[in-house]
Amino acid sequence: MQQYKDLLNDILQNGVKKEDRTGTGTLSVFGRQLRFDLQEGFPLVTTKKLHIKSILHELLWFLKGETNIKYLKDHGVSIWDEWADESGELGPVYGSQWRKWETKNGEFVDQIENVINQIKTNPDSRRLIVNAWNVGEVDQMKLPPCHYAFQFYVADGKLSLMWQQRSVDTFLGLPFNIASYAYLTYMVAQQCDLEVGELVFTGGDVHLYLNHLEQAKLQLTREPRDLPQLIIKRKPESIFDYNFEDFEIINYNPHPHIKGAVSV
Ligand SMILES: Nc1nc(=O)c2c([nH]1)NC[C@@H]1CN(c3ccc(C(=O)N[C@@H](CCC(=O)O)C(=O)O)cc3)CN21
Ligand SMILES: O=c1ccn([C@H]2C[C@H](O)[C@@H](COP(=O)(O)O)O2)c(=O)[nH]1
């Protein structure tokens, strides 16, 4: 994961000090892209140990179309706790937009089902997009989507994915986001009988919170290690039938975990 180290270094070298909504303050750069060839391995950051369980449960929760943290809590995942209301609700966030985007005439669009059907029947389409930035509903969301859109691309029998992220917590959020979209690419590729291609991240305000600078510098002293591999143990009926137990990451040998406080 040299790409991730290079980005940390870029922010430390070129970042501009910028205040932010949370009050923590950041070093920030604008407009960056990272590319990962999924044929080279599964893109998990190796310069600190990641909590894979939270990442995978969060993705499965998005795919269920859920927006209440109950599912996450039931599985011991607490990454969304700070943003939920007393009943665990987050408003119409990712899951709702991905699976149940409401149209003007009151119908619901399942963007995930549609995009998979399109990949299967019309792989050369340039409209293979899922969008979470629902302008009419953003103000009801406890947190407007950070990764707000993604696009698939099929060439040479391989499926690639690029996602857009308006705001990027490079120490805590980004390693999760990379892994999450890598999981999604593998799942969709399996459903569509394609190989995996490239994963492309495009970030807008890419920042390091000022209370994560030491953690970033520590990672720069660490040598990236070989990437692990993902094994999917069976092919479920549909994209909505994957279970946590269907996935196994092998050969993940990261450097030790590094703690960092999350800005709310
Ligand atoms: N400031 C901020 N950064 C984010 O990355 C972020 C938000 N807010 N708000 C919404 C979601 C929640 N996400 C989060 C929240 C917390 C962790 C975090 O604390 N990660 C710990 C491990 C925690 C665990 O898995 O239980 C880490 O060390 O990676 C990661 C992503 C990503 N998003
Ligand atoms: O998947 C995610 C979700 C959130 N983030 C980060 C990016 C920002 O640091 C905060 C959101 O604050 P805003 O003021 O709404 O930009 O959360 C992330 O990196 N990845």
pLDDT per residue as tens digits for the range 198-252: 999 999 999 999 999 999 999 999 999 999 999 999 999 999 999 999 999 999 9
pLDDT, residue 191, reads: 98
Give the count of beta carbons closer than 10 Å to the beta carbon of residue 136: 9
Q: 94 among the known binding-site residues?
A: no
Is residue 86 situated within a structural domain? no
Find the catalytic residue in 72, 146, 154, 199. Answer: 146
Q: Which ligand is nearest the CA of 144, by number? A: 2
Whether the CA torsion 257, 63, 164, 151 is positive or negative: it is positive
Q: What is the mean pLDDT of the chain?
A: 98
78 known ligand binder: no
What residues flank ligand 1, with Cβ below 6 Å?
Answer: 51, 54, 78-80, 83, 143, 169, 172-173, 176, 262-263
Q: Are 179 and 79 in contact (CB under 8 A)?
A: no
Total number of domains constituting the chain = 1
Q: Give the pLDDT of residue 213.
A: 98
In a domain, 156, yes or no: yes
CA-to-CA dists, residue 221 to 9, 209, 257, angstroms? 11, 19, 14
Contact residues for 74 (Cβ-Cβ < 8 A; gap 6+): none
Judge if pTM exceeds 0.90. yes
In a domain, 140, yes or no: yes
Task: Write out the H or E segment, with its range, that includes residue 201.
Answer: strand 195-209
DSSP 58-101: HHHHHHTT--BTHHHHHTT--TTGGG--TTSB--S-HHHHHHHE
Domain annotation covers residue 11: yes
Residue 192 designated active-site = no
Residue found under tokens 């599964």 = 42
Atom of ligand 2 nearest to the CA of 174: 19
Residue 34, CB-side half-sphere exposure with 13 Å CA sphere: 27
Closest ligand 1 atom, residue 263 Cα: 1
**Is residue 89 domain-resident?**
no
pLDDT computed for residue 258 by the predictor: 98
177 lines ligand 2 (CB under 6 A): yes
Find out whether the beta carbon of 147 lies less than 6 Å from any atom of ligand 2: yes
Q: Whose CA is nearest to atom 1 of ligand 1?
A: 263
pLDDT at residue 206 in the model: 98
Supply the pLDDT for residue 52.
95
What residues contact residue 135 under an 8 Å CB cut-off, 6+ apart?
none
Reported ipTM: the value is 0.98
Quick one: the chain helix, strand, coil %, rounded to 5? 35, 25, 40
- Angle between helix 173-191 and 2-14 (nearest 10): 140
Q: Could you list the mean pLDDT of each consecutive 10-residue stretch along the chain, which spans 264 residues?
A: 97 98 98 98 98 97 98 97 97 98 96 98 98 97 98 98 98 98 98 98 98 98 98 98 98 98 98
Domain with 200, as residue range(s), is 1-51+118-250
> Residue 139: which residues within 8 A CB-CB, separation 6 or more?
none
Helix residue ranges per DSSP H, 64-192: 70-74, 94-100, 111-121, 173-191
**pLDDT given for residue 44 in this prediction:** 98
The residue whose CA has the least distance to atom 29 of ligand 1 is: 172
Nearest residue by C-alpha to atom 20 in ligand 2: 173
168 is in an annotated binding site: yes
Index of the ligand 2 atom closest to the CA of residue 145? 3
| 173 Cα–ligand 1 center, Å | 5
- In 3-state terms, what secondary structure has residue 53? helix
What's the pLDDT at 174? 98
Q: Is 169 annotated as a binding residue?
A: yes
CATH number at residue 151: 3.30.572.10
> Which residue has its alpha carbon closest to ligand 1 atom 21?
172
The pair of three-digit structure tokens given for residue 156, joined into one six-digit string: 């040479």
- C-alpha span between 58 and 157 (Å, rounded): 28
Predicted local distance difference test score (pLDDT) of residue 245: 98
Q: Is the CB of 25 under 6 A from ligand 2?
A: no
Q: What is the rounded distance in angstroms from the CA atom of residue 256 to the CA atom of residue 40?
A: 23
Atom of ligand 1 nearest to the CA of 80: 12
Q: Is residue 112 part of a domain?
A: no
Residue type, 77: V
**Within a domain: 132:** yes
